[in-house]
A and B are shown apart, each in its own frame.
Chain A
Amino acid sequence: MPKKILVVDDDPDILDALTMILESQDYIVVTAQNGVEGLANLKAEMPDLMILDLLMPKMDGFRVLKELQDPRWSKYKSIPILVLTSVREEASRRRYELETGLELGVDDYIEKPMPPELLLERVRKLIKN
């Protein structure tokens, strides 16, 4: 059965590129352009992986991650999260710690841009787990 991936990014071009790359490997791709939409799709689609951008309008990736800490979302806790952003990992970790007092608990962190082959490799690793 094909695996389903939710991609959340405010840049439609990035969404298109990622969709093409992921669909080439027979993944089913669901997209969202901000955190609110992302969370709604997470609920509705029950994906096998979420690829999440951090800097987005309306509700950014940091707030999505914070929201997912809430017990209400415990059902979705097992879904791996891959952060794909242009923000440096260390800077993001610090910001998240400062804002929430928690450690940034994501399964993988990739700084954009990332060559398709490497991206697919990381995705494969996460979905297999």
Chain B
Amino acid sequence: MERIESSYSPEEAALLMRLKVFVTMRWIAIFGMVVGTLVASEVLHIGFPTLPVYIICAVIAMYNVVFYFQLRAIGREKPGTIIHKARTYGNAHILLDLLALSVLLHYTGGIENPLIFFYVLHIILASIALHFRVVYVVATVALVMVGLLVGLEYAEVVPHVNLAGFADPTLYQSAPYILAVLLALAVILYGTTYMASAISGELRKRQRQVVQLGEQLLEEKEEELEQTSREMARLAEEKERFLQFLNIAAHDLKAPLTAIQGFLWVMIGGYSGDLNDKQRHMLERSSKRIAELLNLISDLLDIPRIESGQIIPEMKEVSLKQAVRNCLPEQRRVAREKGLRLSVELPEETLSWIRGSSPRIQQVITNLVGNALHYTEEGTINVRVIELDNDIQVEIEDTGIGIPAEDMPHVFEDFFRASNVEAKGTGLGLAIVKRIVEAHNGRIWCESPCPDSNQGSRFTFTLPKASKEARRQE
């Protein structure tokens, strides 16, 4: 038997499978009839013409072969279209079966043959495969055929064949016996029809429900998926709008301050005439406040930019060594002014690349070194770059005032200022640094006092190396 294609609906697949069972059953029936006939005639010595039986068996075998090929042909057709065709074939073959069975019955004693109840088998098969109304028709047809046969034999229109040695040769003329057998047959046929078609009908209904349930679930899932993707698109759009808004807000907030700062610098620089010391001092203080405000605006608007992933499109292959070098000149100048030593330890060999936003990484280094310079009165600021297995690690160590133990858990929090220093910047510097490092999938932490020197503080951050795959994409 061929495999039934999986794309058929469960109902179609079941119908095809059942019709295939029909074919198999028919082969078994033919085999049984031949064996039964042989046993009856040769072993039990019941006298009846065997040739017609064999001929009928041959006929059944022939149309069974036809049915077998019909089913194979159906099995190759498109799913969803085969139910009607398969049922028609099934009906035709069951009618043929009934006809063959009736002819067979005629040659094997008619009403005398207890195998008259074989019709029941067909009814069961039919009710498994066919629509329940059709099964009642089949049962009726079977009954009519048997009735017709025994009636015609009773009326001597058709010659009666006696199973010699098995049944009384006058039995076919016994009206009460005939009626009793027919009644029993009718009861069994209709009873079986009812039972079998109820069971298989229920089975089919369940099959359809399963299919429906599956489809319904699929539909629900699809709808959910669609809704989720709509939601995601909406969120992306909203994020885009928000970033747009931030960019405009940043520009519009800074524009007037920038203009004011410009004028202040013009005056402080003496480009608009001389100032007395008092005026210069006040203008310098104003300028400093404006600078603070500009920094605060930049920092505040930076946070959502980093958090919404705006850094990611800026990421390229970056050399951390180069990033550190780029930051140095300005930091060295500050260190010199303050009389501090700024020592930088870069490894001799070339470092692995990392994937990142170069200006943002420089912002991190500048901020950390800037803090170290700011909070150290004398001694050394040490910047060290180390290559680890999967990361590049940067350490910035100072000999400064350090961080009080109770402040340690808070140093990376927004607007946090350590309790042992006067307010300097916006209180957002380290919070932004942490966000930048984390946006690069890196880690940052601080220790105070430094474990080696037992003074100052040490900030360490790691950035993961660019994978080989990422490098190829470049």
Contact = CB atoms under 8 A, between A and B. Distances in A.
A113 B263 CA distance: 11
A87 B272 contact: no
Interface in B268-323: 269, 271-272, 291, 294, 313-314
A122 B267 CA distance: 20
B423 interface: no
A116 B269 CA distance: 7
Interface string A41-81: 00000000000000100000000000000000000000000
Interface stretch (A16-24, A26-34, A99-107): A16-24
Contact of B261 (A18, A113, A117): A113
Contact of B266 (A11, A17, A90): A17
Nearest to B265: A116
B271 A94 contact: no
A112 interface: yes
Interface stretch (B6-14, B104-112, B229-237, B251-259): B251-259
A14 B259 contact: yes
A114 to B, nearest CB: 9
Q: How many A residues touch the partner, as a band?
A: 20 to 34
A11 B260 CA distance: 11
B272 A20 contact: yes
Interface residues of B, number: 24
Contacts of A113: 257-258, 261-262, 265, 291, 294
Given A18-B262, A94-B314, A86 B269 contact: no
B457 to A, nearest CB: 29
Contacts of B359: 88-90
B357 interface: yes
Given A21-B269, A116-B266, A86 B258 contact: yes
Contact of A17 (B250, B254, B257, B259): B259
A2 interface: no
Contact of B262 (A17, A87, A88, A89): A17
A19 to B, nearest CB: 9
A106 B266 CA distance: 26
16 contacts: A11-B255, A11-B258, A14-B258, A14-B259, A17-B263, A17-B266, A20-B272, A21-B266, A21-B271, A86-B250, A89-B359, A112-B258, A113-B261, A113-B291, A113-B294, A117-B269
Interface of A: 11, 13-14, 16-18, 20-21, 24, 55, 86-91, 94, 112-113, 115-117
**Leading 10 A-B pairs by shortest Cβ distance:** A17-B262, A13-B259, A113-B261, A24-B271, A116-B269, A90-B359, A20-B271, A113-B258, A112-B258, A86-B254
